[in-house]
Amino acid sequence: MRRTLLLCLLLAATPAAADEGLWTFDNFPSAEVAKRHGFGPDRAWLDRVRMASIRLSSCSASLVSPSGLVMTNHHCARSCVEDVSTPSRDLVAAGFQARAGADELRCPDEHADQLVAIEDVTARVGKATHGLSGRAFAAAQAAEIGRIEKACKEADPDRTHCQVVSLYHGGLYHLYRYRRWNDLRLVFAPEEAIAFFRGDPDNYEFPFWNLDVFFLRLYENGQPARTPQNMRWFPPGSPVLATPLPVEQPGTEPLFLPHPPVLGATLSLYSLVKPVPPCPKNFLFSLIFPPTRSGGCPLFPCAPSFES
SS3 177: strand
Element (H, E) at 285: helix 283-287
239: pLDDT strictly greater than 60: no
278 has a pLDDT exceeding 90: no
Quote the mean pLDDT of the chain: 75
Residue 149, CA distances (Å) to 127, 171, 180, 281 in order: 16, 19, 14, 50
* pLDDT of 281 over the 60 cut: no
Q: How far apart are CA 212 and CA 217, in angstroms?
A: 17
Q: What H or E segment, with its residue span, contains residue 63?
A: strand 60-63
Residue 164: is its pLDDT beyond 50? yes
DSSP result, 217-274? EEEETTEEPP--S-PPP--TT-GGGTS-B-TTSTT-S-S-----TTTS--EEHHHHHS
User: Per-domain residue ranges for the chain?
Assistant: 43-111+182-287
- Average pLDDT of the residues in 108-112: 94
**Residue 83 pLDDT class (50, 70, 90 cuts):** very high
Section 285-305 average pLDDT: 36
Distance between the two ends of the chain, CA-based, in angstroms?
Answer: 56
